[in-house]
Amino acid sequence: MDYYCYDIKVATSLKEIALAFLSELPFESFEEADGGLRAYLPKDRNSEDVESELSNISAQLSFRYERRLIPERNWNELWEANFDPIRVGNLCGVRAPFHPPLEGVQYEVVISPRMAFGTGHHATTYMMMERMGRDDFEGLKVLDYGCGTGILAILAEKMGAASVDAVDVEPAAYENTVDNARANQASRIRAFRGTLDDVKDTGYDYILANINRNVILNSLKALYAKLAPGAALLVSGILAADESLVLERAAEVKLSFADKARRGEWSCIRFVR
């Protein structure tokens, strides 16, 4: 598939905020670059709508961008050149198949991200995994909403979850989750492409949602309905500046605030039904 690459030149101090805005648009992947970010959009998407929204965001944050067409290529070569193993304390190590095994961690997740988002390098994914490490997943029924590479779903299974549903609207994310689950022998993960409306099951003991502010705000009521009484909802993809808005909306749907964490400009919040 051909892609448009948007080279975005933005001040370092505004990079995380820019990423938060850009994640609301239908880009399929992001990567950091010298002087800013790169955002990738499949050529068959409506680039005119994206251009309009991108112009508005660039005016707010005073950044410049250029668009170039990238013909179909070996995307594996691209991410392999920019993917280093990471550790989330002694809880979890995340590596690619070509890296040697990581020592000194309880769990290891092997990821081939390709064009899907979620390797543990970004603050939001890191915080989600870090907070998961403080909970007991043994025997739980889990939903990973907006699963990306499937990294959180895989970690949940490795931590003992009895079943994990993983859903994402992006075809690349669905396919990547299926492949990564297989590579990690994660046989209790059921991945499917769709929105939250396509998740017909309820009574989840734990829901993971590392997406973006608007999707989370619009989904809180439905997420509450899918939780079992006393169950947990862990969310990220939220700027720290937006915490109060998310907390207010969550309270409106009767979700109780449990705790939160911050890493850079980003926030991770845990709620309980």
pLDDT along the chain (273 residues), means of 10: 84 84 80 81 78 86 85 62 83 90 94 62 90 98 96 98 96 90 96 94 98 91 98 94 95 98 93 98
CATH classification at residue 180? 3.40.50.150
- On whether residue 249 sits in a domain, the answer given is yes
Do residue 62 and residue 174 come from a single domain?
Answer: no
Do residue 155 and residue 244 come from a single domain?
Answer: yes
Which domain range does residue 55 map to? 3-73
Longest Cα pair distance anywhere in the chain, in angstroms? 49
Q: What is the pLDDT of residue 166?
A: 98
Q: What is the pLDDT of residue 74?
A: 58
**What contacts 79, CB < 8 A, 6 or more positions away?**
113, 114
Do residue 123 and residue 257 come from a single domain?
Answer: yes
Do residue 257 and residue 145 come from a single domain?
Answer: yes
Cα(141)–Cα(226) distance, integer angstroms: 11
Do residue 60 and residue 149 come from a single domain?
Answer: no
Confirm if 3 and 41 have CB atoms less than 8 A apart: yes
Tell if the pTM clears 0.75, that is, is over it. Answer: yes
Q: What is the pLDDT of residue 241?
A: 87
Do residue 125 and residue 237 come from a single domain?
Answer: yes
Helices 171-183 and 151-158 cross at an angle (nearest 10°) of 30
Supply φ then ψ for residue 218, to 5 degrees. Answer: -75, -15
Do residue 128 and residue 32 come from a single domain?
Answer: no
Domains in the chain: how many in total? 2
Q: Dihedral through CA 191, CA 192, CA 196, CA 197, nearest 10?
A: -140
**What contacts 109, CB < 8 A, 6 or more positions away?**
92, 93, 94, 95, 120, 151, 154, 155, 158, 184
- On whether residue 84 sits in a domain, the answer given is no
Do residue 262 and residue 206 come from a single domain?
Answer: yes
Domain stop point among 41, 73, 105? 73
Cα(180)–Cα(15) distance, integer angstroms: 29
CATH classification at residue 25? 3.30.70.120
Do residue 61 and residue 151 come from a single domain?
Answer: no
Cα(165)–Cα(58) distance, integer angstroms: 36
Cα(10)–Cα(62) distance, integer angstroms: 8
Q: What is the pLDDT of residue 174?
A: 92
Supply φ then ψ for residue 11, to 5 degrees. Answer: -60, 145
Q: What is the pLDDT of residue 20?
A: 81
Cα(188)–Cα(172) distance, integer angstroms: 20
